[in-house]
Amino acid sequence: MPPTKKKRSRRRTLRQILGGVRRRVRRAAGGARRVWRRSLQLQVVTSTLVISVIVVVVLGAFLSTQINKSVIESRAQSSLSEAYADRLQIADALTPPTDDQAKVADGGTLSGNPLDDVMDTVTGSSEDGSKKRYDVLILNEASPGMSRASGTVVPTNVPHSLSARLRDNVEKLEYGKTIQAIERITFNGQTQPRLTYVVGGIVHQQGNGENFEVYHFFPLDEEEELLSNVRLAIVVVGLGLVLLLAAIAYLVARQVVTPVRLARQAAERLASGKLDERLKVRGEDDLARLANSFNEMAANLALKIHQLEELSQVQRQFVSDVSHELRTPLTTVRMAADLLYDAREDFDPMAARSAELMQAQLERFESMLADLLEISRYDAGAATLDLDPVDVRQVVLRAIEDSEALAERHGTRFDLRLPAEPCMAEIDNRRVERILRNLLFNAIEHGEGREIVVTVGADRDAVAVAVRDHGIGLKPGEDTMVFDRFWRADPSRARTIGGTGLGLAISREDATLHGGWLQAWGQPGEGSQFRLTLPRMAGAGLKGSPLSLVPPEIEMRRTWRGAMTPVLLPASGDLHEED
Amino acid sequence: MRRIRRLGAAIVLAAAVTCAGTGCTVIPVSGPYTMSEPGAGDPLTKPFQRMIATSPQPSWGPEQTIRGLQAAMAAYADDPTVLPQYLTAEALKAWTPSGAVTVLDEPLQFDPPEPGGAEPVQRITLSAKQVARIEEDDTYVPQSGNWERPFHLVKVEGVGYRVSQLPDGLILTRSDVDRAYRPTKLYYLNGSTQDRVVVDNVRLRLKPAETYAKVILERLLKQPSGALQGAASTAFPAGTKIESVRFGEDEHVVVNLSGPLDLLDLSGEDALMAQIRYSLNNNDVAKGRGISVLVDGEPYTSYQPDADDQRWLDNSGNTAFYVSKGAVHHMTKEGPGGAVAGPAGEQRQGYSDFAISKLATHVAARTSTGISMAPLTTQGGQWQEVIRGDDLTPPSWHRDGSLWTFDQKNRVVLRYDPAGKRGPIVVSAPELDRLRLDVTRLRIARDGVRVAVITGKNTVQVGALTTMGGLKLANFRPLTTTEEGNEILDVAWRDDEHLLVLAQSKAGQILNEINVGDGEVAEIPLKDRLKVLAALNEQVLAEAFGEKGKGPKILQLNEDLSWTSKIDSDVESPLFPLG
């Protein structure tokens, strides 16, 4: 079945192409939308374009209508005058001459038929006549040989409605009324209809009661061409105007937007820590004043930040100094306490218990002091890494081994999920082990005796260790606060395993020192998960983590719920709380 | 830079102020400009009016019906649908519009049917003076006399009268012809020498949908009218069509032809252009305009109006001669001039009826024994008798250099060609032979085609030198006849169309200028008794009887038709070359 395969393959290809096109279009639309949202200049130009197009269209239509009206009206007026003058001439010529006139005619050069003579005059057909720009039709169907026409006009060229109304007027004896119409008429010998202004009137002969229908055909070609040219000019000028307005809007917007853009870039640089960033101040306008204000604000901010940095430095130095200073008396106290502790058997129970308590609190005090010293080293930027290629699985196992005693005390069991292949990475073994130990102690402390899942994952670039507990979990927002120094989820709860409150903060610093991430996830009632992600090669940037921050079972549950009732579900935080 | 900016700003401001200023003016004052002259209207056509035929009305009586029929005949060429409505089916079947058009003078008289006639067939007689006949070859033949024709009409119930019998052809009134026809001069090529155009006077019917120029050129494609049949030819090859005649750019008239014209063969272009040019310009069409002839849209030939090319109407100069005491003299503006060179300039007895050849190279004269000729040069020339005969008419030169006369004794036309080195030959003139007419004068026109003969004593006939089937004199038609007892003394060609005829009646002499095309006669008033005529366009000279003791004198006709004496005494026979 190779053809079928080919077809399928073709179909797939076509579908893929269509999909690709759709994706590109969507991407382009998204890009355009993004550009539109981000560019004030584009918004101003587009708005100007739209408004100016509307204005130009409205004005152009109004202008065109006015010009059309005035041209046609003036042409109609002059045509009516010409037609009226012609009808007067015709009426005069057709009136039977008086005796005196007859004598003049006998001696003159007039031909026998007065209708011919007047038509010669009206149409310019006489020897000294010149061609008129209109044609004339005289119709008298009641008398033989009393109908004439000039040019190519024939009686069928007269619009029916016009001749009908003219004949109505005759029946009503309203001979003075003129009927007019503008029609497209195809004259003999022409293929295209011509726009023509037709004027119809009656010449009534009082003597014999005969009526001559006189039609004038005024071509409107020139007017049509003129108006067409005017319309074209309006369109071209309107288009030019719109483009000009758009260009003006572009320039004006640019004048305004460019300083604003510069101010934004300066603000961004300022925000990224370049406190020396300042704007150039040109002139005295509003934008110049904005730049001045910005510069003042930046200067004040820099001053404040400098002051705060100094204060912070003083504080860090103080903590460091205090920690160092405390070590010497603490060592002495420790030695004394050790002696007392060793001799507690000899003391009465009360004193023995006091010696034990003192020993325990001294140990905690020492570890707190050690943590304080460690963190002050980070603050001073003195922390360094001692890197070795290490199998992370071994580090995890060692940390678990260190934590087993504590886990047993809490009745907690570890579920280890390690890959079969070694997970080699360039790390500081001591620090990573400390991180993991901190995470495990933390999980045991908050795991409420439930199972702790430790997962190790690796990919080409990174290794990750996730520690999952099923304790009370974290409230929204606490996933970042847990790394703060001396932070407690519930201040009323006592520390059961003697944590210093600096463990996670130090762990975060350790991870960051490796160029890695230490992140937390948690939901109330669902427990929490901490994920440590480290690059395999020291100094390489992380692009992702081999393990998901959200535990897979939680992720699956979310997906399943989302697929079933995507609309009706309440916000996820509320749902977890209900759970 | 600042100065340049200020200058730029000043220019922009000035331009803005100027624009605003001119914008306030509706029509700004401007000029003077040098403009090329626009063409005054359409030069290709002339306005004319047409009869519009109306259908027969039930209320019309027999006279009105015949008047309507006549009007339908006048409009038949434009609208052939109306005339059949006036005829019964039988009459329509038998009638055809072909044949000569009868032209009647107005008013039309109707012999009314008997009053109260109850017969279904009414007879009514139309009578009028006939003024002309327009032949099928468009020749306008003036007619005189009464014309009468009875019409039979049948009364059809409900629709009125219908004509039951109608002879073929159309009947028009003089007004109809004036309205729809134009006297037109068509120019054809001289059939024998092909070096000059010959005018053919015809009446062309105007077509509403075509320009007059196109009507002229379409007629020019056909053969000339009967008077020039076989004597003149057209440069248009058979099958040529006029595709369009339009008014193009640069005031040029563009004639687009199609047919067998070869764009590469330019041998006939001059003749073709001459035919087109004279046929248009001499009918007041496209006068003063350049003419471009295209063949299938490709340029063929063109004519510029400023090119003063008159060779196609060459009349061989306008030098006048006269004879004094047997010697031929030049005539100057003041009057008498010196004797011509050669033997003709010597005083000699026995020579009369002189004639000057083309380009004034030879002179011929009649003697008692025949016709002699002599060169008008100083080098060794002498009188030489070339045609023998004691009863020959005065000699007449043809523009091809041959000498013509009529042998009255033998009743034959003789032609002597000096270049042929043979004796005179007899030229066939079948019509003169058949009627055994007594030819007393034979004059060949300057166009080399038309021939005027005086037959008998009182008739002038005009024929043509035809070349079909050998050279012969044919196509003779009577031009004018005087009353019995009167005598035609002399004829002279004034130009290609007009012949001067000097007649002697009992009441005195009459000098008429007759148009050989349409027979129109214009009388020239006389003061003195004339004997011999000579004419060339505006110049008309005549030998008149002088006062007692002074001998004959030569008179000149002025523009105001008065005569003045050119040379007072002892002069005779004014002469122009040819004619």
Rounded to 10°, the helix A286-342/A349-380 angle is 150
Range of the domain at A510: 385-578
Neighbour tally for B103: CB within 10 Å: 26
Distances (CA, A) of A300 to A275, A290, A295, A303: 10, 15, 9, 5
Rounded to two decimals, the ipTM of the complex is 0.80
Kindly state the tokens that stand for A139: 């119709």
pLDDT at site A62: 94
pLDDT at site A29: 94
CB contact under 8 A, B67 and A119: no
Does residue B108 belong to the interface with chain A, where contact is any CB pair within 8 Å? Answer: no
Point out the domain boundary residue: A178, A197, A226. A226
Distance CA B547, CA B562 (A): 19
Burial class for A524, CB neighbours closer than 10 Å (0-12, 13-18, 19+): middle
Question: How much is the pTM?
Answer: 0.69
Closest among B535, B536, B482 to B510, alpha carbons compared? B482
Distances (CA, A) of A34 to A28, A263, A295, B367, B385: 10, 21, 30, 118, 116
Domain total in chain A: 3
Residue A324 and residue A396 in one domain: no
Residue A413 and residue A540 in one domain: yes
CB contact under 8 A, A129 and B47: yes
Does residue A190 belong to the interface with chain B, where contact is any CB pair within 8 Å? Answer: yes
Nearest to B47 among A125, A139, A145 (CB): A125
**Residues of chain B contacting residue A211, judged by C-beta atoms under 8 Å apart:** none
CB contact under 8 A, B47 and A188: no
Does residue A207 belong to the interface with chain B, where contact is any CB pair within 8 Å? Answer: no
Q: A82-86, B286-290, B304-308, B478-482: lowest mean pLDDT where?
A: B304-308
**Residues of chain A contacting residue B68, judged by C-beta atoms under 8 Å apart:** 144-145
pLDDT at site A396: 93
Point out the domain boundary residue: A383, A403, A419. A383
Residue B278 and residue B166 in one domain: no
Task: Tell me which amino acid residue B232 is.
Answer: A
A565 belongs to a structural domain: yes
Residue B301 and residue B223 in one domain: yes
Residue B269 and residue B300 in one domain: yes
The CATH number for B77's domain is: 3.10.450
Residue A333 and residue A408 in one domain: no
CB contact under 8 A, B209 and A190: yes
pLDDT at site B36: 57
Does residue A157 belong to the interface with chain B, where contact is any CB pair within 8 Å? Answer: no
Q: A137 CA to chain B: closest CA distance, Å?
A: 9
CB contact under 8 A, A141 and B57: yes
Range of the domain at B184: 180-312
Residue B425 and residue B538 in one domain: yes
A367 belongs to a structural domain: yes
Residue A213 and residue A325 in one domain: no
Task: Tell me which amino acid residue A563 is.
Answer: A
The CATH number for A315's domain is: 1.10.287.130
B42 belongs to a structural domain: no
B229 belongs to a structural domain: yes
CB contact under 8 A, A123 and B179: no
Residue A412 and residue A375 in one domain: no
Q: How far is CA A179 from the centre of its chain?
A: 62
Distance CA B17, CA B509 (A): 83
**Coil, strand, or helix at residue A356?**
helix
**Residues of chain A contacting residue B69, judged by C-beta atoms under 8 Å apart:** 144
- What residue of B is the nearest CA neighbor of A140? B54
Residue A202 and residue A96 in one domain: yes
Residue B135 and residue B278 in one domain: no
CB contact under 8 A, B106 and A132: no
CB contact under 8 A, B71 and A145: yes
The CATH number for A106's domain is: 3.30.450
Span between the terminal Cα atoms of chain B, in Å: 87
Task: Tell me which amino acid residue A368 is.
Answer: M
Q: Which portions of chain A are predicted below pLDDT 50?
A: 1-7, 102-110, 566-579
**Residues of chain A contacting residue B48, judged by C-beta atoms under 8 Å apart:** 123, 125, 150
Residue B448 and residue B358 in one domain: yes
Closest among B486, B522, B517 to B503, alpha carbons compared? B486
Q: B68 CA to chain A: closest CA distance, Å?
A: 4
Stated as kind and residue range, the H or E segment containing A571 is none
Distance CA B532, CA B553 (A): 11
CB contact under 8 A, A144 and B45: no
A244 belongs to a structural domain: no
Q: A420-424, A478-482, B65-69, B547-551: lowest mean pLDDT where?
A: B547-551
Kindly state the tokens that stand for B523: 């009388």
**Coil, strand, or helix at residue B355?**
strand
**Residues of chain A contacting residue B46, judged by C-beta atoms under 8 Å apart:** 125, 131
Closest among B131, B28, B575 to B353, alpha carbons compared? B575
For testing contact with chain B, the best of A86, A115, A146 (most B CBs within 10 A): A146
pLDDT at site A70: 93
Neighbour tally for A461: CB within 10 Å: 16
Point out the domain boundary residue: A340, A366, A383. A383
B30 belongs to a structural domain: no
**B35 or A15, greater pLDDT:** A15
**Coil, strand, or helix at residue B32?**
coil
pLDDT at site B16: 77
DSSP assignment of B256-314 equals: EEESS--TT--TTHHHHHHHHHHHHHTTTSSTT-EEEEEETTEEEEEE-TT----GGG-
DSSP assignment of B118-173 equals: --SEEEEEEEEEEEEEE-TT--EEE--SEEEEEEEEEEETTTEEEEEE--SS-EEE
Residue A501 and residue A564 in one domain: yes
Residue A399 and residue A362 in one domain: no
Does residue A298 belong to the interface with chain B, where contact is any CB pair within 8 Å? Answer: no
B38 belongs to a structural domain: no
B4 belongs to a structural domain: no
Residue with tokens 């406190």: A275
Using an 8 Å Cβ cutoff, are B198 and B493 in contact?
A: no
Residue B305 and residue B388 in one domain: no
For testing contact with chain A, the best of B44, B50, B129, B285 (most A CBs within 10 A): B50
Does residue B179 belong to the interface with chain A, where contact is any CB pair within 8 Å? Answer: yes
Closest among A19, A577, B445 to A11, alpha carbons compared? A19
Does residue B26 belong to the interface with chain A, where contact is any CB pair within 8 Å? Answer: no
The DSSP secondary-structure symbol of B532 reads E
Residue A411 and residue A512 in one domain: yes
A188 belongs to a structural domain: yes
CB contact under 8 A, A147 and B52: yes
Residue A550 and residue A412 in one domain: yes
pLDDT at site B31: 75
Using pLDDT thresholds of 50, 70 and 90, give the confidence band for residue B241. Answer: very high
A161 belongs to a structural domain: yes
**B399 or B579, greater pLDDT:** B399
**Residues of chain B contacting residue A140, judged by C-beta atoms under 8 Å apart:** 54
**Coil, strand, or helix at residue A79?**
helix
What integer is the mean pLDDT of B529-545? 90
**Omega before residue B107 within 30° of 0, cis:** yes
Residue B270 and residue B189 in one domain: yes
- What residue of B is the nearest CA neighbor of A118? B49
Kindly state the tokens that stand for A474: 């974290």
Stated as kind and residue range, the H or E segment containing A308 is helix A286-342
Distance CA B308, CA B186 (A): 20
Distance CA B493, CA B487 (A): 18
Name the CA dihedral angle for A467, A473, A478, A483, rounded to a multiple of 10 degrees.
-30
B245 belongs to a structural domain: yes
**Residues of chain A contacting residue B52, judged by C-beta atoms under 8 Å apart:** 137-139, 147-149, 154-155
Point out the domain boundary residue: B312, B335, B364. B312
A16 belongs to a structural domain: no
Distance CA B572, CA B531 (A): 9
CB contact under 8 A, A112 and B174: yes
Residue B277 and residue B329 in one domain: no
pLDDT at site A494: 53
CB contact under 8 A, B47 and A148: no
Kindly state the tokens that stand for A272: 């990224």
Residue with tokens 């007026």: A77
- Contacting residues for A37 by C-beta, under 8 A, at least 6 apart: none
Residue B145 and residue B238 in one domain: no
Nearest to A112 among B47, B68, B106 (CB): B106
The DSSP secondary-structure symbol of A429 reads H
CB contact under 8 A, A138 and B107: no
The DSSP secondary-structure symbol of B376 reads S
Q: A367-371, B114-118, B461-465, B560-564: lowest mean pLDDT where?
A: B114-118
Residue B270 and residue B121 in one domain: no
A417 belongs to a structural domain: yes
**Residues of chain B contacting residue A151, judged by C-beta atoms under 8 Å apart:** 47, 208
Distance CA A427, CA B77 (A): 115
Closest among A223, A205, A225, A227 to A214, alpha carbons compared? A205
Q: B560 CA to chain A: closest CA distance, Å?
A: 21
B371 belongs to a structural domain: yes
**Residues of chain A contacting residue B107, judged by C-beta atoms under 8 Å apart:** 112
B394 belongs to a structural domain: yes
Residue A405 and residue A547 in one domain: yes
Point out the domain boundary residue: B266, B287, B312. B312
Q: How far is CA B139 from the centre of its chain?
A: 11
Stated as kind and residue range, the H or E segment containing A5 is helix A2-38
Does residue A570 belong to the interface with chain B, where contact is any CB pair within 8 Å? Answer: no
Residue A542 and residue A412 in one domain: yes
**Residue B115 pLDDT > 70, yes or no?**
no
Does residue B64 belong to the interface with chain A, where contact is any CB pair within 8 Å? Answer: yes
A197 belongs to a structural domain: yes
Give the phi and the psi of residue A526 in degrees, each rounded to 5: -105, 0
Nearest to B175 among A111, A144, A147 (CB): A111
Domain total in chain B: 3
What integer is the mean pLDDT of B341-367? 89
**Coil, strand, or helix at residue A397?**
helix
Residue B331 and residue B274 in one domain: no
**What is the 3-state secondary structure of B395-446?**
CEECCCCCEEEEECCCCEEEEECHHHCCCCEEEECHHHHHHCCCEEEEEECC
Name the CA dihedral angle for B487, B489, B495, B497, rounded to a multiple of 10 degrees.
10
Question: A528: which strand partners?
Answer: A469, A522
Query: For A114-261, where are the E strands, in sequence order?
Result: 135-139, 148-150, 179-185, 194-204, 211-219
Q: B162 CA to chain A: closest CA distance, Å?
A: 14
Distance CA B557, CA B526 (A): 10
Point out the domain boundary residue: B129, B150, B179. B179
